[in-house]
Structure 1
Amino acid sequence: MKRFAVTALALLASTAAVTGARAETVVITAARMLDVASGKLIDKPMIVAVDGRITQVGRQGELADSSKIDRRIDLGALTILPGLIDMHVHLSSDPTLSGMQALRYPASFWTVLGVAMAKRTIDAGFTTVRNVGAADYADLGLKMAIERGSIPGPRIVPATYAIGATGGHCDSNELPAAYVFDRPGIADGPDGVRQKVRELHRRGAEVIKYCATGGVFSIGTSVGAQQYSQSEMNALVEEAHMLGMKVAAHAHGNNGIKAAIRAGVDTVEHVSFADAEAFDLAKKAGTWFSMDIYNDDYILAEGAKNGVPEASLAKEREVGLKQRQTFQAAWKAGVKMVFGSDAGVYPHGDNGRQFAKMVEWGMAPADAIRAATVKAAEALGREADVGQIAVGRYADIIAVAGDPTADVNLLRDIKAVVKGGALVKDAR
């Protein structure tokens, strides 16, 4: 008790010292700013941030008392826009270590690998990511290290383990069944999935991701086959929502997509074989689609060299074009869409390559950008924090050399990144 009292007094003293410190004011200027909500460019913007959050947005010469400015970040002739949001990444994955060769590495390797991937991600302009599946709670460890300032990286919304049915896409089917090993993401039955959601929440998950259907990279699963019953999905989603967490459902097959939407999931990932009925269900429920329509190019070009089994490559050939056609049809039908790349299946840092595919398959550049900013923030339930350059949000800002609404490929060449009012990349 005496040690506890001493510790408590020290914490109180530390808190008082922090409270008494003067807040740091940063001013950020550039030639132009993209207002992502309207799609309009604003000349000579000025953003004022205090302790990492935006307090004023206006034009140069109109804001801020210069005597109170602690730092200035002048981005010169560049165009600024909000830091990008990727709703589907796996930071502790490396596509060049696919298939059986990944089994050569210990669990600790993948967390260390994630440090490098987090740096590539923020350098690519993605200041917030939703990590929808990581072994050994690697995404939680990365999040904590980034928030302490120990390593560079984006803001992470961690799912920890993806939940899946025995033998399904989120299980580990690479080895013969006689090999018994721990599979922390596996849960079966309504009570089982409820308990698993509670356990992951207890461990630090902020979003729940589960596998409603088979997938491309799992062994022995049909890519579109439903793998959880409606009652299991209902129980999982109900439990997660009761705990205040949003839910992402991995689903390629049409039946699994519809079952996930009926269960009340917040986002459906991949959505390869959805039909018009699924679109109508999604629109009525307010469900977001997160569709990784770039990575097919990488997987089919590099997958065999990286160790992806032929069975998985065959499934990718089945999925790739159809998924892009579904993306186009869903967008035309008015389904809500967010940016989700599945980085980790292809190299981290190349996230921005997907913008061009989204435009090729039906979106205007401004819509593709909104999918990775204001719309993604809404789907996350964090629109008060990220997604726009607006008062109250984090001062997470990126800069490009030109107008990204005219040439979306500019988002593959990020010149500067500001996170929380601090310049973390300057490649001018």
Structure 2
Amino acid sequence: MTARPMTARRALICTAILLSLPVAAMAADAPAHHDISVLHCARLIDPVAGKLLGATTVIVEDGHIKELRSGNADGKPYEDAARQAGAGFQQVELADATCMPGLIDSHTHLTMQFSKSTYSDQFRLNPADYAIEGTVYAKRTLLAGFTTVRNVGDEHNESIALRNAINAGLIPGPRIFSAGQFVGTTGGHADPTDGYRWDLQGDPDPKDGIINSPEDAWKAVRQHYKDGADLIKIMPSGGVLDESNSVDNAQMTLDEIRAVVAAAHDYGFTVAAHAHGAEAIRRAVLGGVDSIEHGTFMNDEDMKLMKEHGTWYVPTIIAGQFVMEKAKEGWYPPQVARKAEQVGPIIMATAGKAYRAGVKIAFGTDAGVYPHGDNAKEFAYMVQAGIPPMAALQAATTHAAELLHKQDQLGQIAVGRQADVIAVPGNPLDDITTMQHVSFVMKDGVIYKEAGKPIAE
């Protein structure tokens, strides 16, 4: 995605729009909070044990899981307790549905969605336009069952403002961990002026996420800390959708990567590395990054290094499939189409090989490259790649929570955890495509979708 340099004024406009527009609609967008909920699930996925449990009752109080009971436990005692305490109460029957923890997408871009006009839109749309679009995409993502996402890069820190608006209850959306702006090198996949004519290029610097030395790396990370980011996203290799020629060339030195990681870890950040090429993956792993995103041309040496270093892999198969299809439909400039057709056929096979090699996999989709809300299609692609259905579900729950360092809060339905619960009809272990038909969504104890329909606004 080609970006534009951020100015302080644009960032302020972006934040102001996000924080002001939804206020009038806040009451409509925020479903009523019930202090005690009793959920009767026909089945329950336990991703920690890797098991499908039978009928289970989940008791939720004040946004957290209070109790789990086998079978359809009587909800009357909880209703009486709520009444005595002056609290709200609701009971939800999820007959013939499988409950599981709210899903986590480890690779999203909530403030953009690629289309045929994207390359010209960047000269027409303002940061506020992308910010407003993000409110729509955030809601679609939540209703698809994804209660938490990592937003791994935007153009003007819109996703930080979007995160803040969601956290303040102004708009519905998933829990966001934002990387803010991408970090890369001049002319690389993160350069916001790739494809611009010479007199419009300027010279993007660390404040724009562009570095060319270890010293620049420290400044860029510190700027992200100042901006309020939650993690760092670097671009050590070429990419598909920028207007340069290579998808896999190495674009950051090992010293630059090590400097980013050292600075990031000083500030409590994890580092996600967009990397298609084998050499870029090798450098990123040796440099200490926490995750490799895409990993298309990952080789045996890379996989071995990732296992040795405990590096996570986020495959994003759906994005590879989508860009390959759209390249054939004429969506992209010739050099981009060529890269898309190069990556698409390989990325699924790489994911399957990495799973068989024992590389740790966290679920991620590159949402925004394809339409938001279709995130769950990734599960079917993972299974097609040879990843068992339970392993795919674990990637989107316990494993993704571990990547976020939030395994004590997210990724499982257990006492004391955040009350993020979703349900799908039938059994996804028998038919993984049921993950594309989420019928119930609860985040932090608030129900946003029931019986397959969003809660009335």
* Residue 408 (structure 2) pairs with residue 384 (structure 1): yes
> Which position in structure 1 is the counterpart of 2:322?
298
* Residue 231 (structure 2) pairs with residue 207 (structure 1): yes
TM-score of the two chains, using structure 2 as the length reference? 0.86
> Which position in structure 1 is the counterpart of 2:112?
93
* Residue 447 (structure 2) pairs with residue 423 (structure 1): yes
Q: Which amino acid aligns with 2:101?
A: P
> Which position in structure 2 is the counterpart of 1:148?
168
* Residue 62 (structure 2) pairs with residue 48 (structure 1): no
Secondary structure at the aligned position of 1:284 is classed as helix
1:68 to 64, 68, 81: 81
> Which position in structure 2 is the counterpart of 1:179?
200
> Which position in structure 1 is the counterpart of 2:363?
339
> Which position in structure 2 is the counterpart of 1:106?
126
> Which position in structure 2 is the counterpart of 1:12?
none
Q: 367-376 or 58-67: which moved more?
A: 58-67
TM-superposed CA distance for 1:41, in Å, is 2.4
Q: 315-324 or 244-253: which moved more?
A: 315-324
> Which position in structure 1 is the counterpart of 2:99?
80
> Which position in structure 2 is the counterpart of 1:4?
none
Task: Provide the rounded CA distance (Å) in 2 between the counterparts of 1:79 and 1:347.
Answer: 26
Mapping for residues 208-357 of structure 1, pairs under 5 Å: 208-303=232-327, 307-357=331-381
Secondary structure at the aligned position of 1:217 is classed as coil
TM-superposed CA distance for 1:147, in Å, is 1.1
Secondary structure at the aligned position of 1:376 is classed as helix
Secondary structure at the aligned position of 2:317 is classed as coil
Question: Contact (CA 8 Å) 1:55, 1:391: kept in 2 or not?
Answer: yes
Task: Provide the rounded CA distance (Å) in 2 between the counterparts of 1:135 and 1:41.
Answer: 41
Q: Which amino acid aligns with 1:71?
A: F
Q: Which amino acid aligns with 2:399?
A: K
TM-superposed CA distance for 1:38, in Å, is 2.5
From the superposition, tell whether residues 109 and 385 of structure 1 become closer, same or farther in structure 2 (CA, over 3 Å).
same
TM-superposed CA distance for 1:405, in Å, is 1.0
Question: Contact (CA 8 Å) 1:100, 1:307: kept in 2 or not?
Answer: no
Task: Provide the rounded CA distance (Å) in 2 between the counterparts of 1:43 and 1:288.
Answer: 31
Task: Provide the rounded CA distance (Å) in 1 between the counterparts of 2:435 and 2:151.
Answer: 21
Q: Which amino acid aligns with 1:270?
A: H
TM-superposed CA distance for 1:189, in Å, is 0.4
Task: Provide the rounded CA distance (Å) in 2 between the counterparts of 1:292 and 1:218.
Answer: 17
1:395 to 399, 419, 438: 419
Q: 293-302 or 249-258: which moved more?
A: 293-302
TM-superposed CA distance for 1:221, in Å, is 4.0
Task: Provide the rounded CA distance (Å) in 2 between the counterparts of 1:293 and 1:188.
Answer: 30
TM-superposed CA distance for 1:75, in Å, is 3.3
Mark the runs of 5 or more structure 2 residues left unpaired by the alignment: 1-33, 83-87, 453-457
Q: Which amino acid aligns with 1:61?
A: A
TM-superposed CA distance for 1:180, in Å, is 4.1
Secondary structure at the aligned position of 2:48 is classed as coil
> Which position in structure 2 is the counterpart of 1:28?
39
Question: Contact (CA 8 Å) 2:327, 2:341: kept in 1 or not?
Answer: no
From the superposition, tell whether residues 416 and 182 of structure 1 become closer, same or farther in structure 2 (CA, over 3 Å).
farther
Task: Provide the rounded CA distance (Å) in 2 between the counterparts of 1:127 and 1:73.
Answer: 21
> Which position in structure 2 is the counterpart of 1:191?
215
Q: Deviations over 1:59-92 (max 9, x none)?
A: 2327864422332241331211111100000001
Q: Which amino acid aligns with 1:202?
A: K
Q: 366-375 or 182-191: which moved more?
A: 182-191
> Which position in structure 2 is the counterpart of 1:13?
none
TM-superposed CA distance for 1:231, in Å, is 0.4
TM-superposed CA distance for 1:104, in Å, is 1.8
TM-score of the two chains, using structure 1 as the length reference? 0.91
Task: Provide the rounded CA distance (Å) in 1 between the counterparts of 2:327 and 2:112.
Answer: 14
> Which position in structure 1 is the counterpart of 2:139?
119
Q: Deviations over 1:298-337 (max 9, x none)?
A: 2233346574212111101111222222112111110001
Work out the number of aligned pairs and report it: 406
Mapping for residues 152-163 of structure 1, pairs under 5 Å: 152-163=172-183
TM-superposed CA distance for 1:202, in Å, is 1.5
Question: Contact (CA 8 Å) 2:327, 2:340: kept in 1 or not?
Answer: no
Task: Provide the rounded CA distance (Å) in 2 between the counterparts of 1:324 and 1:98.
Answer: 26
- Of all paired residues, the percent bearing the same amino acid is 38
> Which position in structure 2 is the counterpart of 1:8?
none
Task: Provide the rounded CA distance (Å) in 1 between the counterparts of 2:42 and 2:318.
Answer: 31
Mark the runs of 5 or more structure 1 residues left unpaired by the alignment: 1-22
2:153 to 133, 140, 155: 133
> Which position in structure 2 is the counterpart of 1:17?
none
Task: Provide the rounded CA distance (Å) in 2 between the counterparts of 1:91 and 1:154.
Answer: 10
Structural RMSD (CA): 1.7
Question: Contact (CA 8 Å) 1:98, 1:306: kept in 2 or not?
Answer: no
Q: Deviations over 1:139-193 (max 9, x none)?
A: 1111111111111100000000010101100002121122145841212200101
Q: 215-224 or 291-300: which moved more?
A: 291-300
